[in-house]
Amino acid sequence: MSRRPKRKLIEKKGETQDPPTGLNERWIVLGVCIFMAAMVWFVFGQTLHHQFVNLDDGAYVYKNPQVSRGLTTEGIIWAFTHSHAANWHPLTWLSHMLDCQFYGLNPGGHHLTNVLLHTANAILLFLVLRQMTGALWRSAFVAAVFAIHPLRVESVAWVAERKDLLSGLFFILTIWAYVRYVRGPRSPARYLVVLAMFAVGLMCKPMLVTLPFVLLLLDYWPLCRMGPEDSGDKKFRIPREVILDKLPLLGLAAASCVATIFAQQTALQPLGNISLPLRAGNAAMACVTYIRQMFWPSDLAAFYPLAFRDITASRVLLSLVVLAGISIVVFLMRRRRYLVTGWLLYLIMLAPVIGILQVGSQAHADRYTYLPEIGLALLLTWTVSDLCARWRYRRLFLSALSLIIVFALTFAARTQASYWKDSETLWIQALSRTSDNLMAELNLGEAVYKLGRTPEAIAHFERALQIDPNQGWVYSSLGAALLEIGRPDASLVHLQKAIELDPNSSDAHYNLGNTFLQMGRASEAVAQYKRALEIAPDDTETMNNMAWILATSPDALVRDGAKAVQVAERADSLTRNASPIISATLAAAYAEMARFPDAVRTAQRAIQLALNEGNKGRADSIRAQLSFYELGVPFRDRRFGSIPR
């Protein structure tokens, strides 16, 4: 009886590689890359038809005049010298500016960039893992899970999360440059590439501050710079050069930490609001939640509210037991070095966003797993492969299992991505998956308010206040909605409460200015607009309203033509002379200063812009104003309390 010869596995630096196939490996690699791109586009291609959502997309793109103008010298300087939306990440801002340069405010173009970046990240991760480990199929599976897991949806389908994708790109490129440097020849030029990639990544998102420690883990496995993998603990040592390699990187990380703390001062939750024990308990629960979501990605939402009642002693204790249990198993089986690298990579990369320094009011967030769960995928993939190493039908079993997992995740992610098509759909889904979600109620209210469904919006704002009656931004939104249905007295009460709770809310001051204007209190309206501009100096809507009153008020004591021109010209510049409303306001300001040729020319431009938008009613309104300027008469808004719409 003949016996089947045992399959021989190839060993290289202690790494069990995938068995050879009959195909040319280059073609296999190319095929994997094409398959990876196809999966990403199947899941995320739909986002090219999605809209912006009212979760930071405004602050990052369409309501940010420094960004929406495209790539300008002023914008580039602003990106490097200012923190905005509680972040300093200049290259992320430049990326959004570049999108606006090419696509304007067409959301499809911005989504396209996100999909392209994520496609590149998935392919690069596969190539770099294969380069480090020599394991083609395992590297392909890890990269595939990274590419199409439903937890990736938030990072890819949300335009404002461009920072995840860019930092992920430079995270992988830094690892590639480091592997190239380590495997020689080691030269200053190659090390400078490592530093450059890391520095660029930090300027995309400071979450990469843990990357020097990730490189140290990669030195342990799979680069094996701390002794052969099968040497045992007795021979384990950390060479001096391994530590020295990390010192310049740690210096960059420290500088990024300082910049981030300064940028997030206004967003950091004080210990008085959330105690350290509560933060630590939530952090432990979040670590376990992410593991559960990796295996069973159900009930995902755009925002998970931090509810103190959920942080119970029993849940925290159970989470700590799970984390400690996994850590003990990893320690006991440390000869399989990929366990140590995978597990610690997961924990270390989560550290900056786990909530000890709490930014915002979320318990956890899908986007925080973009890079950390690479460690879990790596750990599980290599473990299952090793456990099946001696099975007779190993390749058939693992191939079938991998395909089932990949296709299940693909369709789950495709469904999850569909919820990001617009703000209303996103927040309806979030409310169906969570409870007492103030953020979802507020943002859904704002979404339906913009669709003209004001009573429905008011109901959502009121439910938000029932969840937490101490949120100034909810009072501000409710005050604006009440004004819309003609209740300025109630609007005034809510907006004054909003400012009492948050004196530095530019939206609250802007909305209060609108309320004062509707009540015929123009000078008080101007004062509120001035305060709003002190807080948010580039808010073009506030500039427009203020300039309109200063230029067209029937009250001579309120009018200030010179100031109106100054403010309106700034707003016109920030909107790249493309807003018919702002252009009409600028024309009125010129007329107030008796600059009638400028007023006529600017009003004519405003009319054309309105016609280009298909808004004949607005064009007719501006044409009526133009008739005054052609007669050499400034325009007075006799409908006191109105602003151009």
Is a pLDDT exceeding 50 seen at residue 4? no
CA–CA gap between residue 561 and residue 593 (Å, rounded): 5
CA–CA separation, 293 and 303 (whole Å): 15
Only one residue has tokens 């070095």, namely 337
The closest of 554, 220, 138, 189 to 387, measured between CA atoms, is 138
Using an 8 Å Cβ cutoff, are 532 and 513 in contact?
A: yes
Q: Is the pLDDT of residue 528 over 60?
A: yes
Report H helices in 537-615. 540-552, 561-574, 580-592, 596-612
Both structure tokens of 86: 């509680």
Per-residue pLDDT band at 370 (split at 50, 70, 90): very high
DSSP assignment letter at 437: -
SS3 364: strand
| CA–CA dist 334, 117 (Å, integer) | 35
Q: pLDDT band for 15, please (50, 70, 90 cuts).
A: very low
Dihedrals φ, ψ of 84, to 5°? -145, 145
Say if residue 6's pLDDT is above 60. Answer: no
Q: What is the mean pLDDT of residues 113-133?
A: 98
What's the pLDDT at 262? 80
DSSP class of residue 47 equals G
Closest CA to 98 of 117, 81, 82, 84: 117
**In the predicted model, what is the mean pLDDT of residues 478-493?**
96
For 446-453, what is the mean pLDDT?
A: 97
pLDDT at 9 > cutoff 50: no
**Whether the predicted pLDDT of 236 surpasses 70:** no
- Range of weakest confidence among 162-166, 516-520, 526-530: 516-520
Min mean pLDDT across 17-21, 171-175, 353-357 is at: 17-21
User: Which helix or strand (DSSP H or E) is residue 363 part of?
Assistant: strand 362-364
For residues 165 and 367, the answer to whether their CB atoms sit within 8 Å is: no
CA distance 157 to 283: 25
DSSP class of 71? S
Average pLDDT estimate for 149-164: 98
Residue 419 has pLDDT above 80, yes or no: yes
pLDDT band at 360 (very low <50, low <70, confident <90, very high): confident
Q: Give the mean model confidence (pLDDT) for residues 278-286.
A: 94
The tokens describing 276, both together, are 């350290």
Instruction: With cut-offs at 50, 70 and 90, classify the pLDDT of residue 1.
Output: very low
Band of pLDDT at residue 274, cut at 50, 70 and 90: confident
CA–CA gap between residue 462 and residue 285 (Å, rounded): 31
Q: Which positions ≥6 away from 359 have C-beta within 8 Å?
A: 86, 264, 267, 268, 269
Query: Would you say residue 344 has pLDDT above 60?
Result: yes
Token pair for 73: 């010298």
Q: Who has greater pLDDT, 235 or 211?
A: 211
Average pLDDT over residues 200-204: 97
pLDDT of res. 2: 36
The pTM (predicted TM-score) of the whole model is 0.92
pLDDT of amino acid 37: 98
Angle ∠(243,248,251) on CA atoms, nearest 5: 115
Q: Which of the four pLDDT bands, split at 50, 70 and 90, describes residue 263? A: confident
**pLDDT grade for 234, boundaries at 50, 70 and 90:** low
Q: Residue 390: what pLDDT?
A: 87
DSSP codes joined into one string, 366-394:
GGGGTTHHHHHHHHHHHHHHHHTTT-TTH
Band the pLDDT of 271: cuts 50, 70, 90: low
Tell the residue number behind the tokens 């366990």, with chain if given.
339
Q: What is the pLDDT of residue 355?
A: 83
Domain 436-537 falls under CATH 1.25.40.10: yes
Per-residue HEC secondary structure of 157-218 comes to HCHHHHHHHHHHHHHHHHHHHHHHHHCCCCCHHHHHHHHHHHHHHHCCCHHHHHHHHHHHHH
- Give the C-alpha separation, 234 to 225, whole Å: 15
Cα distance between residue 417 and residue 50, in whole Å:
10
In SS3 terms, 622-640 reads as: HHHHHHHHHCCCCCCCCCC
User: Residue 359 has what pLDDT?
Assistant: 72
Beta bridge partners of residue 15, listed in sequence order: 12
Indicate if the pLDDT at residue 229 is higher than 90: no
Average pLDDT for the chain:
92
3-state secondary structure of 470: coil
Q: What is the pLDDT of residues 603-634, one digit of tens each?
A: 999 999 999 999 999 999 999 999 999 999 99
CA distance 18 to 23: 13
In the predicted model, is pLDDT for residue 494 greater than 80?
yes
